[in-house]
Structure 1
Amino acid sequence: QTTTTITQLPYSNVNTTPIHIIVNTDPLQQMKDFVKPFNGNPNDDIIKWLESIVHYFGIAQISGDKETLYFQYAPAFMKEYAYKWWANQKHYIFSWSIFKQAVITQFSEKNEYLIAQQFDQRKQQINEPVIKYYYDIIDLCKKYDSDMTDKQKIRKLTNGLKLSLYQEAIKETYSTSFDFLTKVQQLENIQKLIELRQ
């Protein structure tokens, strides 16, 4: 489904030919830029996949009930094992909340020991940007303990920093985990400036 809009150049004293712009309004086409296919493999992250669907409809200007839209379009991105699962289950699932609960139960990481090991061992790598390290740790925290407090997240984030940042980060206080990200990114930028001057 496409719509055609007519736009004229904003010059009142110039006669111009209208420019026709084709705007693609098919949500599935636009969603491909935001939502990756979910195959149902052990290393696929079901939580991130669900969040990407919610994120798309949070910014797309599409009329309708959000949860109805999530449920309507999500199965189109299920491939391989995930699609086979959906083909067998779709007759029993009638809403986004039931769908979400069912896919999390089926495809979430079930190996608690593996999650715990990843959580314990995750450290910032030498050339890893703070923002990547931060969001990886936050994702691990959700998997490891969904009720983890901000104070616990900040402690985990701080302890895993590379030494050059850790030495400065422990001098700061942080009100929230996002406050940690903001302040440590500032420290990261200062260190980059110092390195450039050496």
Structure 2
Amino acid sequence: MEGNSFANLIQSTALKELSKFTGDRQRKVTQYIDAVEHIGVFTELNESLLHSTATIKLGGAAFNWYDNNKETLRSWRELKQNLLELLKPSLSTAKTQLKELKQQSGETLIAYYDDIIDLCRQVDN
């Protein structure tokens, strides 16, 4: 019983910590998907609960897109694939961003490094 309530607490906390995804370019779709999947692994969510977690945290234009297309986005796999197709930057955009990326004033080294790694993954995929 205690283990179950602890798991519920972890799931609740993780859901609260996951910020809304609106589809704007400030938060990358790959980061959002990775965060949802990380919660799923950490809390042992099934595909249906991953889908619910992801859709609950959609807002703004991303929610409107989902609402208009929800009949074809019934599983986590379909939602994830369509989010990536719709919002993932093109290969040429990712390459350009990687080439032009510079550490910003006040940006931590780890944040800059994470941006580089994220762009490298986009180019590789």
Q: TM-score range by the shorter chain?
A: 0.7 to 0.9
Which amino acid is 2:113 matched to?
Y
Are 1:31 and 2:15 matched, yes or no? yes
Number of paired residues? 122
Q: Residues 28 and 73 of structure 1 are in contact (CA less than 8 Å); yes or no, is this contact kept in structure 2?
A: no
How far off is 1:84 after superposition?
0.7
Structure 2 Cα separation of the partners of residues 46 and 141 of structure 1 = 15
Which amino acid is 2:116 matched to?
I
Structure 1 Cα separation of the partners of residues 6 and 115 of structure 2 = 35
- The 3-state SS of whatever aligns with 1:135 is helix
The aligned residue for residue 73 of structure 2 is 93
Distance 1:137 1:50, change over 3 A: same
Q: Residues 72 and 78 of structure 2 are in contact (CA less than 8 Å); yes or no, is this contact kept in structure 1?
A: no
- The 3-state SS of whatever aligns with 1:41 is coil
How far off is 1:28 after superposition?
5.0
TM-score (structure 2 length as normaliser): 0.77
Are 1:118 and 2:102 matched, yes or no? no
Distance 1:131 1:42, change over 3 A: closer
> Higher relative contact order at CA 8 Å, sep ≥6: structure 1 or structure 2?
2
The aligned residue for residue 132 of structure 1 is 111
Q: Residues 46 and 108 of structure 1 are in contact (CA less than 8 Å); yes or no, is this contact kept in structure 2?
A: yes
Q: Which runs of 5+ in 1 are unaligned?
A: 6-21, 147-198
Q: Deviations over 1:109-131 (max 9, x none)?
A: 24x55433321122445765442
Task: Within 5 Å, give how 1:1-198 maps onto structure 2.
Answer: 25=8, 27-28=11-12, 30-33=14-17, 35-60=18-43, 62=44, 65=46, 67-110=47-90, 112-124=91-103, 128-146=107-125
Q: Which runs of 5+ in 2 are unaligned?
A: none
Quick one: percent identity of the two aligned structures?
Answer: 25
- The 3-state SS of whatever aligns with 1:32 is helix
Distance 1:78 1:117, change over 3 A: same
Q: Which has the higher strand share?
A: 1
Q: Give the CA RMSD over aligned residues.
A: 2.8
